[in-house]
Structure 1
Amino acid sequence: MANPTQVKNYIAQWMQLGKKVFLNEQAIGTTNVLQGNGYSAEFEQIWTKITAESSRAYLAGTDQSIGNLLEHNWEMLNCVRCNMLSPCVAIGPRETPTCPCADLELWPDLETVTPRSPISNQAQLNQIRDRLSLKQ
């Protein structure tokens, strides 16, 4: 099963590319996903709506509900074409997963910065410090 953090990162990455989540047949989304070291308040509100009605929410271009990804035998893997998170059956017969990039005409675009998850500046600085201290 994909854990909630992985599913949240999956939704966040695709929203950064303009994908919407359909909830009760209404498209919701934002491109304002990241703010500082975390997710924006706007994205957090959308995520709360999605998780409250996860069985009726799905990312545009996919067939799996967010509820399925959270409750069943799914995992998040990187797409071989675009390297973005994409759901895949973890147990049982595997079908060729359809990545949400399938309907994006100009993706992957190697000229632009790819969507990402929030980054902790302090954690990044600590990793750099640790690597430098190992070299001495």
Structure 2
Amino acid sequence: MSMASTEQVKQYLAHWFQLGKGVVCPKRQERIYPQVIFKEHHYSTEFEECWQKIIYTDADCYLEGTDQTIQQLLSPAWELIDCPRCHLPIPITMTGVPSPICICFDLSNWPNDKLPSPRMPTNSTNHLRCLLERLRDKKEDN
């Protein structure tokens, strides 16, 4: 087990943003939720601006449905694992005691196997290149 990295926390937020969860900043009485999360195979400018706001302006921001602040998730006391129920990232303390409920507890239609799960963006060019290489290798084997 190891603490959650900055990139893992960003991925955690990106997954839950795709399901409509926002980040609450109580001191500013603000809910942060980017409309556009990805641009091609990178985070969007809007997402990155939200991330900067979360990281640098409020120490008590947290994802809706959780008790842990984003700053706490970046500390050595926490890591992110896949939820056994919905397979999305959830926080767990390094002592291994998970939250009694998943963040998806208040989503009425989740998990839903009929809908695509939230995901990280893929680089289509790289993905297609890898597929082409696999096909060439397979053809050479036959």
State the TM-score, normalizing by the size of structure 2: 0.85
CA deviations on 1:48-85 (whole Å, 9 max, x unpaired) are 11111352110000000000111132111111111111
Tell me the residue number matched to 1:3: 5
- 8 A Cα contact 1:10 1:85, kept in partner: yes
Could you tell me whether the CA contact under 8 Å between 1:76 and 1:85 is conserved in 2?
A: yes
Q: After the TM superposition, which of the residue ranges 18-27 and 121-130 deviates more from structure 2?
A: 121-130
For the 8 Å contact 1:87–1:97, the answer to whether it is kept is: no
Kindly report structure 1 stretches of 4+ aligned residues shifted beyond 6 Å: none
* Equivalence for 1:14: 16
List gaps (5 residues or longer) in structure 2: none
Residues 62 and 100, structure 1, Cα contact 8 Å, conserved in 2:
yes
Shift of 1:134: 3.2
* Amino acid across the alignment from 2:20: G
Matched, 1:111 2:114: yes
* 2:56 counterpart residue number: 52
**Matching of residue 75 in structure 1 with residue 69 in structure 2:** no
Q: Quick one: percent identity of the two aligned structures?
A: 38
Distance in 1 (CA, whole Å) between partners of 2:57 and 2:101 is 23
**Which deviates more, 42-51 or 118-127?**
118-127
Q: CA RMSD in A?
A: 1.7
Q: How far 1:47 sits from its partner (Å)? A: 0.9
Aligned length: 135
The yes-or-no answer on 1:86 pairing with 2:104 is no
Alpha-carbon deviations, 1:111-130, whole Å to 9, x = none? 21211112122321232133
Higher mean C-alpha deviation, range 4-13 or range 97-106: 97-106
1:55 is matched by which residue type in structure 2? Answer: A
